[in-house]
Structure 1
């Protein structure tokens, strides 16, 4: 069992909720802390929940951890305005990353979007691109940028646009081959799994961007058990050879004590030891 600790921000969303469950079930992690505005429904002995106002989040609200997973994200429709959308998808992640750097958290993993680019013609992708740029400028110890395609899975809320997109991509999946594979929809649970694999076995470099088609195929390394034969395990000839030392190699166990150098000041008195019967209550 490992001794890792993780922090998850955005744990009540589609990917974040799956990530929390997978982290808690993974033997490498002994502690999983969720920082959220509302309490998640999932419970686990490893899980600690901190209810915080992200507008007032301070350094002491974030304890040390080996990884901080940022799964914050919303839509303009749900946010109600571009200003609120930018606060959730840009300002909060950047502020949390800054606090993580101050706390010495070595690895920050963040979900952006497949088309994230500052010069994108699409507003959503421009915001995500600006977030990536500013996170890189922050100088984190290690930054992993997760760029999934359309996320699919069972949501607690109905999103018409995403449902339509999911059906279209599902029908088009057989046609999305070769370079077009990157446009395939991806299960949120696979993205969560990929983030954990990246944290435990990913590239050890300052900044790494993981596109959707790479996230889709990431899997934990297979554990190879060494096949040890009984002949190798019980090689008595080898054991006997190791036990048969040359006389000159043996340790001389005759210990000579220089009594003039060492003086014993305490006396050892042998006393009769008596045991009192155990009193049963």
Structure 2
């Protein structure tokens, strides 16, 4: 029987990367990870799903496929209380995706099964619903309650994966987001800089040019930054550019090693996880 998820535990199976810090890795990331084709969207929006859906399967599938950075956009709906008020979204009309509680359950299940994998939660955007303010306080309380013991403190950012494993058997999650008075903790990392094309409509060729420009002078190495390798068409909506991504970031291109996080749509259909693993494997071997 073939292994459906050959990269489910690629980090713990690649022992050489224990010599690397979190910031020295190249990470495979799922762009807009909370909106996928497995989610039961309302009937009236299903025909337009190609305009906003960015992944094939839910959080747990993305993690099992080897994705290690989840790009997350949450809104808070004041019609609900507690953790139920927080849902992912995509687009100006705040189309709802998966919930914060499902994210918690997926991470808990995955890390219980794979205790030495590391995950980055990129809180890309936090937004209130219907002109309301985002409930930072409630969001912080929910995260501390459900994920607090799993979060890697910012002060440990320069420790190697091996050292992090020795220090704690539970701390495997980086949570990064924009500072707010009600959303602050020594456990939180700074907001991750996103390098995107700057245009909602981006053809594959325009995307290629954007990536080339960015990687000619990439951001500083000692910080997380995310390269948005995504294409969106005026008629097609979210584009599936599997072949282009495999070509651009393949072993012969030289682009992937210059990256921190490669954030892609429908990443499970690409070879990006495999490419990132290979780069990190050799990077770890070279580090003395």
- TM-score normalised over the length of structure 1: 0.31
Which structure has the highest helix share of the two? 1
Does 1 or 2 have the higher relative contact order (CA < 8 Å, sep 6+)? 2
